[in-house]
Structure 1
Amino acid sequence: MRTPGTLSRPPLNNEATQLSDQVGAPRPPEDFDGQLERLVVLGRTWIGDCWYALLTLGGTCCSALVDTGSSATLVRPDVVKNKTVNFPTIVKLQSVTGGRAPMVGEAIVTLGLGRKSVRCPVWVANLEDCILGLDILGALDCVINTKRGTLTFPDGHVIQMWQQPPRPGCVTTHTITTLTAETTNSAATSGMPSNEPPTPPPTLPTAELHPPPTTVRPAAISHTQVTNTAPPNDSERVLAVKEVWQKNCDGLTPSEQSLLWQLLLEFKDCFSLSEDDVGRTDLIQHNIETGDAQPIRMRPRRLLLARQAAADKALQEMRRAGIIEPSTSPWAAPVVMDPKKQKEKWRFCVDFRPLNKVTKKDSYPLPRIDEALETVAGSFWYSSLDLRSGYWQVPLGPEARAKTAFITNGCLWQFQVLPFGLCNAPVTFERLMDRVLAGILRQECVVYLDDILVHGESFQASLKALRWVLERVAAAGLKLHPQKCSFMQREVTFLGHKLGGGGVSTMDEKVQTVKDWPTPSTVQDLKSFLGLASYYRKFVRGFSCIAAPLFRLLRKEVVFDWTEECHAAFTSLQKALVEAPILSPPDPTLPFILDTDASNAGAGAVLAQVTPERERVVAYHSRQFNKAERRCCVTRRELLAVVSAIQHFKYYLGGLHFTVRTDHSALQWLMSFREPEGQLARWIEELQVYDFAVVHRLGAHHGNADALSCRPCSTDGCSYCEKREAQEEERLQPDVKCAAVGPEGTPAGHGLTAVGATEWGCRQEEDVDIRPVLTWVGAQQRPAWGEDAFCFRATKGLWSIFQALRLQDGVLQRGWKVPATGETQWQVVVPRALRETVLQAMHGAPGSGHFGVTKTLRRLRQGFYWGQHRRDVEDYCRRCDSCTARKGPADRSHAQLQQFPAGCPMERVGIDVVGPFPHSERGNRYILTAMDYFTKWPEAYCLPNQEAETIVDALVGGGVQQIRGP
């Protein structure tokens, strides 16, 4: 009696073990003894492609040929390599060519087909394809529908089959020739010789299932006979889908592999098989709005011979694929052949820059990459889809086609689909993808141009979302690039980032690129490195501070000098990028902590969340200070760091209570300041909309706080941090470097040798703005702000920079830190009586060069200072007589070119004199040229000189009788 769900088969015997040695199977046991049985498996003839289905054998997925003409199921040895194989009688498979594939044995396996599974015996044979025979089909009660390509079970479950041609070299005629039923006697079984002649085993007749291929002679056809390529048959798409499925099966269970296969097979028409197999949507058309602009026609560019051949080949391929068509448009753009990374390959490009200049720009927004990455954070299953030539799947509007015309060697073509290089192409494609995926964006998938990422927290959720996306793609008429797609992966690459395990990290390939980057030797090399590094700046804590020496080399008029500081910054940035930290996704249920800090060069911030296990980083932020911000005091820079960080993370922090941690204690009471003014009031007003608390912690516990140098305010002044400024001044004083001073106290090298130290001191004492400051500096104490000891604006300015002033040989000087080098130079505070003299020496004195405002300011700041000196320099350069006399008008006007009409010969004659030349034998040095405006008839005469009398004699009396005076 047979147990339900199993198949029984009579035990089989094996009479030879040499066969197992040939196929690498294990040898049968020596005591194996069974009865020879006869099993007949009938062959069938296949016409065209064969039907295949997906099986699971003991946890291994494989494709099997569905053969109703086979009474048994046969599998390959590699499918059951870990199973126990019993050794049957000698069974041979013979093909029409006479070749034989011997049986290996028999195995008991758990066979799965769709949702059904059964434990049954199967034959093991050396075949290219497994064969699903009638024994399994009958046991599972399957109904085959060849019209729809389905297998239906009694419970209504349906699985999809697919068609493909038999593999080359496989056995396509499964006619079992022996399956011998020979009765053995005792002598034979005992090894004793027998006197009776052996009886030949009966065989079944063979049948030719596939006729020999018919040889077709090639026929030459003209190029006018070439039409669109024939559509690929269904088997080619199945093979392409199978290749993609096999590539993505790693890490999936057999049931997950089966579900993925059924889904991909259902949407096999969504995959492109070649570069010519491009989809075409009808949801949108790209239009080019140029307003009243006139058509722009450009001349074709001459291409090299190798590039011209590549261009011709590309034109033929695009014409065959329906990408371009002949044109009669008044527009024409040149063609450019751009070399690809592969050798001897070129990319066909059209220069649409003139067209883009007159095109009205589309303001449809592109998605933010950071928001897209934040959306998928927290998912564990990903499927990345990429469209095949996505732009080419968008048709052009009728009027837009003529504007995309391009000219080649003797031909004018125009695009029928959206070409690369148009300014509005990305937004049109993004608009299309938003329409296609409307309703499932963000929750189930994200899209950036032609890159689609389907994500989910579980396999079932991600597979369900993938089905929705494929349905939308198929309905829109789009096609995917199978080689660039990945399905149901635990880790994928998307938008230059690596997604996996619920987090986001940098790509290993680009990190390796940064690690192996050579030391920059030019500004352009440095820009390239910083451009790549800046893309991952949010993964590097304190990026602006680390890269500050490198960015300093990019400033104008700065010599490229690769110092040890620059090399240290370069290597530090490389190391920070190579580490590739992982960012955790934000969790709105957890409290946020914002750590901020500022230095002389920039501000940085870390957004984190506290979990029961640890404090995890959500994101990094850093920025550089501009020139004005670098001149702010410590407190203002620290407050600016808080403001910029909160503005950067406003999408996280808006509407939530969070904590700001800083190592600058002044920020604790700054938020409660009663009467803030100016910039401080504006910053505080911006922060009022957020709910946060400021917490101070020591710099030793604040990460990189020890590396930040906080200096006192030396220019604008700040009444909020005087105590901190005094402490910083004591630290800075021993390291001050003085500028060169002449023998009499005058800064050397500025052409002011006539003004000695004594005169500088006297003129400063006579100046009403500087006199009170000399008293303060001498007494090392300045009055309170509200006292009436001073009322002039210049005096107030010197009061605000009191900590940067000193008396040197009775001359008041101001310490100024050079932004480019960081060194401190001492400048003489110039009184009003000597400012004109200083300006003359800096700009108009011999050797000064009458430079412009920028260079004059640079020379002046090397040794002199007074309030609003920039305004005085600009005014002096503007009213300099020498500069005004040498400068021409800002815009020289030119008369328009005109034509001089002539109605008859000799009505108007143009003349010109050319020379002087070396003396001729007759003493002539000049040539008089004359041309009639009407007939364009030229004449030339030799002249000894270019005097008026000589020219008249040549024209009137020299034989030109046609020219007469009025």
Structure 2
Amino acid sequence: MEAQARAILEKHHDNFLEDGNAVPAPARRVVGNFNVDDAKPVARRFRSIRPEHLRKAYDQLEKLFQTELIEYSHSEWASPIVIRMKKNGGDIRTCIDYRIAIQLIKLTHYPLPLIDDLLIGFESVLWVLSLAMAKRLWAVPMTLWAKHISVLICLLRHFQWTKMLLGLKNAPPICQQMLVNCLWSFVRLPASEAAQMDVDGLAFLGIDVGDSAEEDLSTLIEGMTVFGRNVPSSPQLNSVRGERPYICDIGYGTETWEQLCVDLDRRLYRLRYWGTSVSLLKNKFGKKRFSHEIEADRIQAQSKIAEGVIDLPSPSTLRDVQPFLASLNYYDEFIESLPVIAAVLNKLTDEQIRSGRDLGRAMEALRILKRKTVSTPLLRGPDSQKSFVIIIHANPWAACTVLGQESDGVFIPVHITGRVLHDHKFRYHPAENEVVALIRALRVFRAMLAGTKLIKVYNRYSMLKWICTSRSLEGRCRQLAVCFWKFARFSWMTMVWPQSWELRLPPPRDKLDQNDDNIIQVTGRVIQSPPVRLETLGPRCEGWLMSFDGHAKKSDRWGSAGCILWELLSWDVVQARGSHFADVTVNEAEYHGMIEGSKMALVRGISEMVIVGDSRIAIQQARGLIQCLKPRLRMLLSEFEDQRQEFKSIELVPVKRGFNAAANYLASKI
């Protein structure tokens, strides 16, 4: 079997790209572009680079310049380079801060497939093959306008990208569109470019480049992409099997090894036709799909795979935690209360992991998730002749639901779903969270519940009582009735867990709540600002304090900002400054006051400072407690973050308006 696959790979040897910084051949008739409408160019200031890292950054930029991936630029756009240290402590990673440019780029509507959809159809598959495109985005050239937006700035020079890069918005959909057309072949290449393929490939695909009616096309459309020309492909290029690629990867499986080799040969010919290179080292050819051993009385995970999961070391950085949580997305249908258990790992910080502080609950959650991952799933296919049971687990931070059926006096799980609650849902009543879980269950399990005569709902709180007595419903009873009318009859009951159910379903409700409390505190999911007051600084505290405020008029949108620099020991005013701004809101004026005050402190060489103000938006967004969604506020927040890097320590403290009277008076009288 291996000889047959090796012969196919050797035949397509030229289509594979070596690993490293090798640049693939340019894509044929495909370009990348960005739409920012009438947005003004954004030029951000460069960030300083330490002298010991400057040479390493130069070497990385020189390699990109020699491979013609970047070139000199005179664009009005600019995004700064950010240096990050790698795990070994010696090498650097050069990143580009495109956050502001991404806010202005319009998102394309080309869809990306869901991971769950890509896994459909692998039920009867024995052999699996995955193909990874070699730096496919580097093969997509960009238009002149897209190059101007991609400009990066550092101490060395302005550079702009000549090929597409993954960090910019719409790059994944562009690559997805290319790969879908490559496999499904809706449109075809011009005859002049199709002739660049070797004779064997053209003969295999059944393409005749001599007989073409498109050579007399006008020069106006000669430079168009294949999606702009819209020339339908020949029937010989139509897809033989259903293809579902994902950005730069192709994964499929077959029942037999012979069929796998035939499909591999066809796909490699199609990739050669479109000039797509394949990464040899990242591919997997002919891997057996089975990860579980099937015995006469049970199904269990293979011991080698199970040991590898159980023996996973404790994470040392936040980057080690994220891949583990991402891999658990494939098991969300088999692990009950997955959002509840994984929430404690989601709230970890890199500083907390490195210092080893308060990791007891996180290590317990990690141990539980590893054990549940390698354990045998207990799900059973639904029986349409039996009634269904919906069991709700709702907490202040997550809502999970189990769909089950009774068999011999034991509830057997059929399907599991859950989600983590965000933002305003933290303030929900527990019964409201159960309603959220129930509505989600009815939506997710709709196909299985159709035609069911009786549905039993087990919940902890009196959901019906809350629906009938809550004053904040405002018509929600009708909305719930619309959700329930499709089903014949509901039976509501309080959650009661017999001890015999522990064998097939998770522990009783009281034990489940006890485990949840041991893993995550209820208030741990809500980020609350500590009640810091000026009096806590102490009468003998030395240092610097900056207070700021801002005002704006709705009539003409003219605003003003004031900032005052204080010396803490004597509370003497060192410097005060006021500024005018046009076309600003109140929040933007307050941001300007905070930025101007920081500039005033940097000029005096101050490295540690306390910033106070009565602006809830500016202070909490700068502290990362609330999201910054408006693009103009994001630009100001990014400017403040750039200044913050030059300080050794900055403490942001919100105060009441009465304690910020000086800055308020200065801003209102300018």
TM-score normalised per structure 1: 0.39
Paired residue type of 1:685: V
* Equivalent of residue 448 in structure 1, options 234, 246, 251: 246
Please tell me whether the aligned partners of residues 607 and 617 of structure 1 are also in contact (alpha carbons under 8 angstroms): yes
The Cα shift of 1:583 comes to 6.0
Residue type of the alignment partner of 1:576: L
Does structure 1 residue 414 correspond to structure 2 residue 215?
Answer: no
Equivalent of 2:136, from 390, 406, 418? 390
Q: Which residue of 1 aligns with 2:417?
A: 621
Q: Structure 1 660/279 Cα, relative in aligned 2: closer, same or farther at 3 Å?
A: farther
Contact 1:533 1:577 in 2 (8 A): no
Once residues 582 and 603 of structure 1 are traced to their aligned partners in structure 2, the CA distance between those partners, rounded to angstroms, is 23
Match of 2:429 in 1: 630
Which residue number corresponds to residue 203 of structure 1? none
Displacement after TM superposition at 1:489 (Å): 0.6
Conserved in 1, the CA contact under 8 Å of 2:435 and 2:463? no
Counterparts of 2:12 and 2:394 in 1: how far apart (Å)?
Answer: 59
Q: Which among 508, 514, 536 is matched to residue 707 of structure 1?
A: 508
Q: Does 1:363 align with 2:109?
A: yes
The number of residues matched between the two structures is 447
- Out of 162, 182, 185, the residue aligned to residue 436 of structure 1 is 182
Shift of 1:381: 1.2
Deviation of 1:529 (Å): 11
What residue is the counterpart of 2:278 in the other structure?
480
Separation of aligned partners in 2, 1:303 and 1:689: 63
What code does the residue aligned with 1:630 have?
A: H
- Matches of 1:503 and 1:434, distance apart in 2: 37
> Could you say which residue in structure 1 is the equivalent of 2:147?
401
Q: 1:366 to 1:615 in 2, by over 3 A?
A: farther
Q: Return the index of the structure with the highest Cα Rg.
A: 1
Say if 2:269 is the partner of 1:471.
Answer: yes
Alignment of 1:186-335 (within 5 A): 256-274=1-19, 275-335=21-81
Distance in 2 separating the partners of 1:310 and 1:609: 62
Distance in 1 (CA, whole Å) between partners of 2:382 and 2:139 is 40
Equivalent residue, structure 1, for 2:517 = none
2:131–2:283 CA contact under 8 A, matched in 1: yes
Cα contact 1:380–1:455 (8 A) shared by 2: yes
Give 2:476's aligned amino acid.
Q
Q: 1:547 to 1:433 in 2, by over 3 A?
A: closer
Identity %, equivalent residues: 18
> How many angstroms does 1:271 deviate by?
0.7
Q: State the partner residue of 2:367.
A: 574
The answer to whether the 8 A contact 2:310-2:370 is kept is: no
DSSP 3-state at the match of 2:14: helix
1:426 match:
172
**CA-CA distance at 1:455 after TM superposition:** 1.5
TM-score (norm 2): 0.53
- CA contact 2:430–2:461 (8 Å) conserved in 1: no
1:261 maps to a residue whose letter is R
* Partner SS state of residue 487, structure 1: strand
Inter-partner Cα distance in structure 2 for 1:534 and 1:639: 26
SS at 1:374 equivalent: coil
3-state SS, counterpart of residue 620 of structure 1:
strand
Change beyond 3 A, Cα 1:422–1:465:
same
- Asked whether the 8 Å contact 1:515–1:578 carries over to 2, the reply is no
Measure the CA separation in 2 of the matches of 1:459 and 1:286: 38
1:458 and 2:235 matched: no
Is the Cα–Cα contact under 8 Å of residues 659 and 692 in structure 1 kept in the other structure? Answer: yes
Structure 1 residue 679 corresponds to structure 2 residue 476 = yes
Tell me how far 1:397 sits from its aligned partner: 1.8
Q: CA offsets per residue over residues 605-657 of structure 1, 9 Å max, x none?
A: 3356999xx9986642234674565343xxx876654322122344x538676
Match of 1:688 in 2: 485
**Which AA in structure 2 matches 1:480?**
V
Report if the CA contact (8 A) 1:297-1:332 is conserved.
Answer: yes
2:405 and 2:242 map into 1 onto residues whose CA distance is: 26
8 Å contact from structure 1 (residues 596, 641) kept in 2: no
1:461 aligned partner, one-letter code: Q
Question: Is the aligned partner of 1:645 residue 2:438?
Answer: no
Change (3 A) 1:677 1:288: closer
Q: Following the alignment from structure 2 to structure 1, what is the Cα–Cα distance between the partners of residues 459 and 92?
A: 58
Question: Could you say which structure has the greater relative contact order, defined with CA pairs below 8 angstroms and 6 or more residues apart?
Answer: 2
8 Å contact from structure 2 (residues 456, 492) kept in 1: yes
What is aligned with 1:351?
Answer: 97
Give the direction of change, closer, same or farther, for the CA distance of 1:261–1:641 in structure 2 (3 Å limit): same
Q: Secondary structure of the equivalent of 2:119?
A: helix
**Distance between the aligned counterparts of 2:342 and 2:245, measured in 1?**
33
Contact 2:147 2:161 in 1 (8 A): yes
Q: CA deviation at 1:487?
A: 0.6
Partner of 1:604 in structure 2? 400
- Provide the C-alpha distance between the structure 1 equivalents of 2:67 and 2:437, rounded to a whole number of angstroms: 56
Residue 334 of structure 1: how far off its partner (Å)? 2.7
1:709–1:698 CA distance, 2 compared to 1 (3 A)? closer
Q: C-alpha deviations, 1:287-323, integer Å up to 9, x for none? A: 0112222333344444334433233322332233332
> 1:384 touches 1:487 (CA, 8 Å); kept in 2?
yes
Does the CA-based 8 Å contact 1:583-1:617 persist in structure 2?
no
Question: Which is helix-richer, 1 or 2?
Answer: 2
Return the alpha-carbon distance in structure 2 between the equivalents of residues 315 and 549 of structure 1.
Answer: 39
Are residues 1:542 and 2:287 paired?
A: no
* Alpha-carbon shift at residue 820 of structure 1 (Å): 5.9
Separation (CA, whole Å) in 1 of partners of 2:132 and 2:379: 25
CA-CA distance at 1:665 after TM superposition: 12
Cα deviation for residue 286 of structure 1 reads 1.1
Unaligned segments of structure 2, at least 5 residues: 186-237, 350-356, 512-520, 525-529, 532-547, 554-558, 561-578, 583-670
How has the CA–CA distance of structure 1 residues 665 and 380 changed in structure 2, closer, same or farther, with 3 Å as cutoff?
same
Q: Distance in 1 between matches of 2:125 and 2:166?
A: 33
Contact kept in structure 2, 1:598 and 1:637, CA below 8 Å: no
Superposition deviation, residue 281 in structure 1: 1.4
Output the amino acid matched with 1:597. Answer: I
Cα distance 1:544–1:453, how it changes in 2: closer, same or farther (>3 A)? closer
Residue 421 of structure 1 and its aligned partner are, at CA, apart by 1.6
Shift of 1:396: 0.9
Aligned-partner Cα distance in 2 for 1:615–1:378: 28
Q: Distance in 2 between matches of 1:298 and 1:665?
A: 53
1:766 matched residue in structure 2: none
CA change 1:352–1:639 in 2 (3 A) is: closer
Shift of 1:691: 7.7
CA shift for structure 1 position 483: 0.8
RMSD: 5.3
**1:599–1:330 Cα change, 3 Å:** closer
- 1:26-175 equivalent positions in 2, closer than 5 A: none
Q: Is 1:300–1:333's contact at 8 Å kept on the other side of the alignment?
A: yes
1:631 to 1:328, Cα distance in 2 relative to 1, 3 A: closer
Cα offset, 1:355, TM superposition = 2.1
Aligned match of 1:918: none
Name the CA shift for 1:291/1:552 in 2 (closer, same or farther; >3 Å).
closer
Q: What whole-Å deviation, never above 9, does each CA across 1:100-138 have from its counterpart, x for those lacking one?
A: xxxxxxxxxxxxxxxxxxxxxxxxxxxxxxxxxxxxxxx
